[in-house]
Amino acid sequence: MAKAGATSKATEKGSDRSDTTRRALVIAAIESLKKDGFTRASARVIAQRAGVNQGLVFYHFGSVTNLLLAALDAVSEERLQTYGNEVTKVVSPGELVDTAEGIFKNDLEAGYITVLVEMIAGSFSTPGLGSEVAARIQPWREFAQSSIERSLGDSPLNGVLPSKDVAHAIVALYLGLEMLSHLDGDAAPALALFAHAKQLASLFEAMTAPATTKESS
Amino acid sequence: MAKAGATSKATEKGSDRSDTTRRALVIAAIESLKKDGFTRASARVIAQRAGVNQGLVFYHFGSVTNLLLAALDAVSEERLQTYGNEVTKVVSPGELVDTAEGIFKNDLEAGYITVLVEMIAGSFSTPGLGSEVAARIQPWREFAQSSIERSLGDSPLNGVLPSKDVAHAIVALYLGLEMLSHLDGDAAPALALFAHAKQLASLFEAMTAPATTKESS
DNA sequence: GTCTATACTTGGATAGAC
DNA sequence: GTCTATCCAAGTATAGAC
């Protein structure tokens, strides 16, 4: 299935060549998903973008679908690594909303979510792709859940709030907003929501903060 | 561009023939979007489903894209007509959540949102399709907004709540949940959210109802 | 092991038959 | 006006060259 493993310190020069080609194809695949969409992300188009022969897609990845999944993996990994650090610093709902807004803007600009949405879209057409994509969304879901729980800290709400379900909703909302933003060519409605969320977060903090300091009786 | 207009009371029998073919193609296109997805919803596949020659797609609709848009129109119209009646009876947030849950389940089963999501997905690949689909989502957004405002009634929140932004979020969430449900082949997480929303709604109703009776000072 | 040239399939669109 | 037979472009995949 995968070709992972000992490629870094190999003695053959052939591995380097292979690796270069693979990397070029993955980058070109990401670019194609962003700019052309799933439907037009064909072996021919991707290979041309990478400057290599079209047949190499099948030699190195077995199928176009596998290459696209590799592209999604690459994006997913880079994204989680970048944002993972940012989010560990978050200790309140207000900060979480701020961070989420920054991530949303960055995702929109970088086209990270576009890649994911395209793959989801393609999943409806390509048999068997659905479960593969679903498995790759799982880390994002867990990322959302742990972020929520961390931001709530030791608030009493932490035990009551169904963080798993909320995380599911957040991911769904995130994907939906991204789709609509692209469709309308306008991110304003989505960004307006972050402003409202910020107000809600500060309202929440104002409601819960006094409860811990004012412990009379 | 379009072939709208005098087809109902025409004297020629040819119009009937044309109408039959067109209708068959639209139905087949809907079915294809649901079961095959945007990518595989080709003129050939759709025509075969409809039992007509593939070239008729281009004769009657000019292009595959136009046929798919006609399919989206048909679904959108039927959906809004069905749900429009249900929602006018809603007079409280609790009832709204109940109705929304029913609509969500029905949409999921009927595949209505699948058709929309497929078209949105295709919009990323097909130049010019985006704005067309966006225009067709507008009624759904307005539908959500008016439903929210109606359910709030004369509550003081009605003036404060940014119903337009909330409606945008609801539509986005709705699309996202539908996508994830399809992907996972499991609607349970989405349905769990409706249960939570129901609790929130009754909490909200309990908080606002006494406020109108207890008007001291 | 890596890559290229080629085979085969499916799709969009139209010229021309009825 | 309605429909069919046919054309050409684009896609996936592989047999065989290096």
For the residues B192-200, what does the mean pLDDT come to?
95
Which residues of B are less than 8 Å from A162 in CB distance?
192, 196
Question: Does the pLDDT at position B11 exceed 90?
Answer: no
Alpha carbons A78 and A142: distance in angstroms, whole number: 16
Structure letter (DSSP) for residue A8: S
Reported confidence tier of residue A210, pLDDT bands at 50, 70, 90: low
Would you say residue B201 has pLDDT above 60? yes
Residue A121 confidence class, pLDDT cut points 50, 70, 90: confident
Residue B67 contacts strand C, CB under 7 A: no
B212 pLDDT more than 70: no
Tell me the average pLDDT of chain A: 89
pLDDT at B2 over 70: no
- Shortest CA–C1' contact from A22: which nucleotide? C2
The answer to whether the CB of A116 falls within 8 A of the CB of A137 is yes
Q: Over range B188-201, report the average pLDDT.
A: 95
Per-residue pLDDT, averaged over B143-164, amounts to: 90
SS3 B132: helix
Nearest alpha-carbon partner for B65 in B18, B116, B129? B129
- Whether the pLDDT of residue A4 is over 60: the answer is no
Other beta carbons less than 10 A from residue B58's beta carbon: 14
Residue A6 in tokens: 């000992």
pLDDT tier at A107 (50, 70, 90 boundaries)? very high
Please give the Cα distance from A54 to A87 (Å, whole number). 40
Q: Name A181's Cβ contacts closer than 8 Å, sequence gap at least 6.
A: A108, A187, A189, A190
| DSSP 8-state symbol, A58 | H
Min distance A91 CA to chain B CA atoms (Å)? 25
Residue A5 has pLDDT above 70, yes or no: no
Which pLDDT does position A2 carry in this prediction? 41
Contact between A57 and A47 (Cβ < 8 Å): yes
Q: How far is the CA of B55 from the C1' of D7 (A)?
A: 13
Kindly identify which residue of chain B lies nearest to residue A195, measuring between CA atoms: B165
**pLDDT tens digits along B33-59:** 999 999 999 999 999 999 999 999 999
Q: Determine the residue among A34, A36, A39, A126 to mutate to test chain B binding: the one whose Cβ has the most chain B Cβ atoms within 10 Å.
A: A39
The mean pLDDT value of chain B amounts to 89
In angstroms, the separation between the Cα of residue B14 and the nearest Cα of chain A is: 36
Contact B47, B28 (CB under 8 A): yes
- Over residues B21-40, the mean pLDDT reads 96
SS (HEC) of A133-162: HHHHHHHHHHHHHHHHHHHHCCCCHHHHCC
Which one of A38, A130, A173 has the shortest CB-CB distance to B169?
A173
- How many separate helices (H) and strands (E) can be counted in chain B? 10, 0
A132-183, pLDDT tens digit by residue?
999 999 999 999 999 999 998 888 888 899 999 999 999 999 999 999 998 9
**In whole angstroms, what is the distance from residue B199 CA to residue B192 CA?**
11
pLDDT tens by residue, A66-98 = 999 999 999 999 999 999 989 999 888 899 999
Q: Which residues of B touch A121 (CB under 8 A)?
A: 37-38, 117-118, 120-122, 124
Q: What is the pLDDT of residues A11-69, one digit of tens each?
A: 445 588 899 999 999 999 999 999 999 999 999 999 999 999 999 999 999 999 999 99
Number of alpha carbons in the 13 Å side-chain half-sphere of residue B82: 15
Using an 8 Å Cβ cutoff, are B100 and B194 in contact?
A: yes
Percent of chain B with pLDDT over 90: 71
Position B146 pLDDT exceeds 90: yes
Q: What is the pLDDT of residue A15?
A: 81
Q: What is the mean pLDDT of residues B63-91?
A: 94
Question: Do B175 and A174 make contact, defined as CB atoms within 8 angstroms?
Answer: no
Reply yes or no on whether the pLDDT at B157 is more than 90. Answer: no
The alpha helices in A39-92, defined as continuous H runs, are 43-50, 56-61, 64-88
| Residue whose entry in the numeric block shows the structure tokens 């296109």 | B29
pLDDT, position A16: 87
Contacts of A63 (CB under 8 A, 6+ apart): A57
């190499």: which residue's tokens?
Answer: A56
Q: Are B90 and B150 in contact (CB under 8 A)?
A: yes
The nucleotide whose C1' lies nearest the CA of A21 is C2
**Residue A69, min C-alpha distance to chain B (Å):** 15
Query: What residue is closest to D6 (Cα–C1')?
Result: B55
Residue of B nearest to A128 (CA): B183
Report yes or no: B123 at the A interface, CB cutoff 8 Å. yes
CA A103 to chain centre: 10
